A and B are shown apart, each in its own frame.
Chain A
Amino acid sequence: MSDVFFKWMRNTMLIVCAMVASSAHAQVRELRVGVASHVRSLDVQEITSNSGASFLYQIFDTLIERDNHAAPLKFQPGLATSWKMVSPTTMELKLREGVIMHDGTTLDAEDVKFSLERVLDTKDPRYTSARGRFFYNLKSVEVVDRLTVRVHTHRPDPLLETILSARNAGITSKEHVEKVGKDKAGLMPVGSGPYRVDAFKPTELLNLTRHERFWGERPPFDRITFTRIPEVAARITALVNREVDFITNVPPDQEGAIRRVKGLKLVGAPLPVFHIWVLNMSHPATANPDVRKALNLAIDREALVKGLWAGRGYAPKAHQFKEYGEPMFMPDLAFYRYDPKQARELLKKAGYKGEQITITFFPEYYLYGNHAAVAVADMWKKVGINVKLQMSEPAFSNADHTKVMVQPWSNPLYYPDPMGVFDTHWSANSWVVKKGLWKPDHPEWAPTYEKARFSTNIKERREAYRKLLTMADAMSGWIVLYQPYESYAMNENIDWRIPSAQRPYKLTFRAGQVSFASR
């Protein structure tokens, strides 16, 4: 034991010395972020989760970037300085000269081909999610010369720029991945962004430092640390106690704990993300559409929004966001309503005899998902459903999906277009389809989907989308709970805005996106 103590004493002394030294060196600009959830890997093509969105943008560049706040979307040069369509299914992009990556190599067309094409490897399960969300229309990437690539698609794609500006289209170093292998590269990734990975403890901690040879403008921080603090109260305590400078996912009912402390502020919005429960269409308990409709009708969304989100969230009536703007947002669509009486009738019609329906829930991943589960369980009980709650954990969730009846999920808006939430979650290539949770069995579904996604006539896309939503409601394969209202809390001297043109939960800490007034 004594050995351990000497070691401890020595480390303690070192830490104290380091603290003294660092306070003398006040010039290091560090941002300490407390996040609700973390990632197990930083493979930019693998991680599609809400939690990954906080990190990947600092490390990886995409060929095409977006203006963070412009609506409608405005594209900007990223690693590509210019791009044009050379045929309906081919886009040619010119790459930026002299981009030095974190491993010291220079970015070239081979890196782009490698990064984007590995997603198309259907044998590697780690890329199933990103492929289903964004890249299933991608055919190949052709190297024209060292700084020119051509991206080929199967069908003409009206959303190609949008997709190439999604973070999962980030470019990594081919040399690095080939040298260390995919697993290790996921733990110690190499991108070309303004920050590089200094230390990464999966699911727990990520330390970034400034990439000295970054091609763009020098970023505002020398160091950023992301620490996982899963409980809301613990995150707030850490912020109030000045252990971190910035925290994510603060619900409205706990804002008071931040407000009564001087020097802190909140930045919040009803985020364009639906908290969703997928009803497994392959499970006997939820196979009957009348049962699924009854489950939908038995939920009082207004009560959830008032209770959990202090009335500041949003109880939607259809699977669509106002953010689409005209003409894709259709205010007349109203599918979701609260009707326990009809729910009971449907259950009777379906011959429901008290079979147990289990709600799987994640205690922390989707903010207040645990409370929603408890509340909905009670609502379902009232219409005569035999409910059980089962705690689980997401992202790491290696549950056997054939046994899941109600699976929690979120549908964030990846880009302001119906397909930015629909195609990214419910396409025939998505994991929910692959696992049989979502089985669109209507004969019209596939052709309508094709139109909604790929038609170049905007009116035709709009009508197809309307038809999709109507069919989806008839199948009732999922439950849209609400749009949550979440805030970020931070030191008053941090000037940061939620990037509305990016997917929810994305943190933007590059030059010009955040500033840090000196204390």
Chain B
Amino acid sequence: MLRFIAWRLGRAALTVLLVLVGCFVAIRSAGSPVDILYPEDATPEQTALLEKQWGLDRSLPEQFGLYVANLARGDFGVSIIERRPVTHIYAEKLQPTLQLAGLALLIGVCVGIPLGAIAALRRGRAAARAAMALAFTGYAVPHFIIAIVLILIFSYHLNWLPSTGAASAWHYVLPAVTLALPLIAAIARYMRSTMLDVMNQDYVRTARAKGVAEPRVVTLHVMRNALLPLITVLGLEVAGLINGSLIVETVFSWPGLGKVLTGSVSRRDFPVLQFGVIAYAIAVVSINCLVDVLYAVADPRVRVES
């Protein structure tokens, strides 16, 4: 088990390293850090400081080493636009993003699992068809369309729910639902197909043949075996959730990371963009890593395979 964890952690670390290389290369191909950081008029002191900090007079591998060393010390640079450490900016905006994504994940799981289960158990009936149609729609409609439709209906016309910012609990409803809909769709689809698979397994048939009551078959045998692989799927959906949150936060003026990140692209605020990408990558990598470890704990076969 320990060996598995160590192996998995190593892989995660390597992934993060590759992300760092990618960021470094991308930022370097965008131009000299001096021009990027002081596009207007850099004073000679500022230029000298930057050159020392980035080691611009040294070889590229050395520069990369220095870059990683700076990051390791927690020095992610200062926002070009806001002139304060990027870590401060993100610290301020982490919570709203986590809350929103967390809530969306919760809604996705709470609605998606029953929906998928219904679709599998009541196969061919109207309820199942409706559930799957809903899931299908959630899959085909992008976040930004869901968002503007919800705002138009619930904010402008009905005046039921707020549309910008995160000032109160009500402000969470529309963005969370927007973010959750495609997630519900993904989970429901997945749940349905796994449950159908599981229901055809021998042990379920055996249980039925033995005369175990249907609800018991469903909960004890089918659901339990279908839910386990769902953990892995959820781990993978986190990446999709982040894609979505970038859009949703922009549309709803959510005071979170998404707006900071998308804004940093058009403002060419590279320190902000870079930290965002690294932070998101680390988050996703560690979640996936955790999921794999948990899964290995629950299902020993995985360990052997790897």
Indicate whether A and B are direct neighbours in the complex (CB within 8 Å): yes
Q: Which of A363-408 contact B (CB under 8 A)?
A: 391-393, 396-400
Known A237-B163, A392-B266: A201·B80 in contact at CB below 8 Å:
no
- Say yes or no: is B28 at the interface (Cβ < 8 Å to chain A): no
Per-position binary interface string of chain B over residues 62-89, scored 1 when its CB falls under 8 Å from any chain A CB and 0 otherwise: 0000000000000000001111100000
- Say yes or no: is B225 at the interface (Cβ < 8 Å to chain A): no
- Say yes or no: is B258 at the interface (Cβ < 8 Å to chain A): no
Measured between alpha carbons, how far is A505 from B109 in the docked complex, in Å?
Answer: 47
Measured between alpha carbons, how far is A1 from B106 in the docked complex, in Å?
Answer: 10
Q: Which residues of B contact A12 (CB under 8 A)?
A: 169, 172
- Say yes or no: is A15 at the interface (Cβ < 8 Å to chain B): yes
Per-position binary interface string of chain A over residues 203-239, scored 1 when its CB falls under 8 Å from any chain B CB and 0 otherwise: 1110000000000000000000001111000101110
- Say yes or no: is B305 at the interface (Cβ < 8 Å to chain A): no
- Say yes or no: is B41 at the interface (Cβ < 8 Å to chain A): yes
Residue of B nearest to A244 (CB): B164
* Residues A240 and B159 in contact, CB atoms below 8 Å apart: yes
Known A4-B99, A234-B253, A400-B39: A243·B164 in contact at CB below 8 Å:
yes
Measured between alpha carbons, how far is A7 from B81 in the docked complex, in Å?
Answer: 31
B interface, how many residues as a size bin?
Answer: 35 or more
* Chain A interfacial residues counted at CB < 8 A: 46
- Say yes or no: is B269 at the interface (Cβ < 8 Å to chain A): yes
Q: Which residues of A contact B172 (CB under 8 A)?
A: 12
Q: Which residues of B contact A234 (CB under 8 A)?
A: 151, 163-164, 253
Residue of B nearest to A395 (CB): B81
Chain B: minimal CB distance from A236 (Å): 8
Which of the residues A1, A237, A392, A400 comes within 8 Å of B151, measured between beta carbons? A237
Residue of B nearest to A13 (CB): B169
Measured between alpha carbons, how far is A78 from B159 in the docked complex, in Å?
Answer: 43
Measured between alpha carbons, how far is A7 from B100 in the docked complex, in Å?
Answer: 12
- Say yes or no: is B244 at the interface (Cβ < 8 Å to chain A): no
Known A8-B102, A201-B92, A398-B40: A242·B168 in contact at CB below 8 Å:
no
Chain B: minimal CB distance from A248 (Å): 14
Chain B: minimal CB distance from A16 (Å): 6
* Residues A400 and B35 in contact, CB atoms below 8 Å apart: yes
Q: Which residues of B contact A399 (CB under 8 A)?
A: 39, 268
Q: Which residues of B contact A125 (CB under 8 A)?
A: 38, 40-41, 43
- Say yes or no: is A19 at the interface (Cβ < 8 Å to chain B): yes
* Residues A4 and B98 in contact, CB atoms below 8 Å apart: yes
Which of the residues A204, A238, A393 comes within 8 Å of B267, measured between beta carbons? A393
* Residues A398 and B162 in contact, CB atoms below 8 Å apart: no
Measured between alpha carbons, how far is A183 from B167 in the docked complex, in Å?
Answer: 28
- Say yes or no: is A272 at the interface (Cβ < 8 Å to chain B): no
Chain B: minimal CB distance from A31 (Å): 15
- Say yes or no: is B255 at the interface (Cβ < 8 Å to chain A): yes
Chain B: minimal CB distance from A337 (Å): 35
Measured between alpha carbons, how far is A40 from B159 in the docked complex, in Å?
Answer: 32
Which of the residues A229, A393, A398 comes within 8 Å of B164, measured between beta carbons? A229
Measured between alpha carbons, how far is A240 from B157 in the docked complex, in Å?
Answer: 9
Report the tally of A-B residue pairs with Cβ distances under 8 A. Answer: 108
Which of the residues B35, B40, B102, B266 comes within 8 Å of A5, measured between beta carbons? B102
Residue of B nearest to A41 (CB): B83
Which of the residues A16, A204, A240, A241 comes within 8 Å of B255, measured between beta carbons? A204
- Say yes or no: is A187 at the interface (Cβ < 8 Å to chain B): yes
Q: Which of A2-55 contact B (CB under 8 A)?
A: 4-5, 7-8, 11-12, 15-16, 19, 34, 40-41
Measured between alpha carbons, how far is A142 from B255 in the docked complex, in Å?
Answer: 45
Which of the residues B43, B106, B163, B255 comes within 8 Å of A243, measured between beta carbons? B163
Q: Which residues of B contact A228 (CB under 8 A)?
A: 253
Q: Which residues of B contact A397 (CB under 8 A)?
A: 267
Q: Which of A231-266 contact B (CB under 8 A)?
A: 234, 236-238, 240-243, 257
- Say yes or no: is B155 at the interface (Cβ < 8 Å to chain A): yes
* Residues B81 and A4 in contact, CB atoms below 8 Å apart: no
Which of the residues A1, A201, A203 comes within 8 Å of B263, measured between beta carbons? A203
Chain A: minimal CB distance from B206 (Å): 36
* Residues A187 and B102 in contact, CB atoms below 8 Å apart: no
Q: Which of A264-293 contact B (CB under 8 A)?
A: none
Per-position binary interface string of chain B over residues 160-182, scored 1 when its CB falls under 8 Å from any chain A CB and 0 otherwise: 01111101110010000000000
Q: Which residues of A contact B164 (CB under 8 A)?
A: 34, 227, 229, 234, 237-238, 243
Residue of B nearest to A1 (CB): B102
* Residues A398 and B83 in contact, CB atoms below 8 Å apart: no
Q: Which residues of B contact A179 (CB under 8 A)?
A: none
Measured between alpha carbons, how far is A455 from B172 in the docked complex, in Å?
Answer: 60
- Say yes or no: is B103 at the interface (Cβ < 8 Å to chain A): yes
* Residues B102 and A4 in contact, CB atoms below 8 Å apart: yes
- Say yes or no: is B156 at the interface (Cβ < 8 Å to chain A): yes
Q: Which of B35-50 contact A (CB under 8 A)?
A: 35-36, 38-41, 43
Task: List chain A positions with a Cβ less than 8 A from chain B.
Answer: 1, 4-5, 7-8, 11-12, 15-16, 19, 34, 40-41, 123, 125, 128, 183-184, 186-187, 201-205, 227-230, 234, 236-238, 240-243, 257, 391-393, 396-400
Task: List chain B positions with a Cβ less than 8 A from chain A.
Answer: 35-36, 38-41, 43, 80-84, 92, 95, 98-99, 102-103, 105-106, 151, 155-156, 159, 161-165, 167-169, 172, 253, 255, 259, 263, 266-269
- 25 A-B pairs with CB atoms under 8 Å apart are A4-B98, A4-B99, A4-B102, A7-B99, A8-B99, A19-B168, A19-B169, A40-B82, A123-B43, A183-B83, A186-B83, A202-B84, A204-B259, A227-B253, A229-B253, A234-B163, A237-B163, A238-B162, A240-B155, A241-B155, A243-B164, A243-B165, A393-B266, A393-B267, A398-B39
Which 6 pairs across A and B sit closest by C-beta, in order of nearness? A398-B39, A396-B267, A202-B82, A125-B41, A237-B156, A183-B83
Given contacts A40-B83, A237-B151, A398-B81, 11 further A-B pairs with CB under 8 A are A1-B102, A8-B102, A15-B168, A19-B168, A125-B43, A187-B84, A237-B156, A243-B167, A396-B81, A396-B267, A398-B80
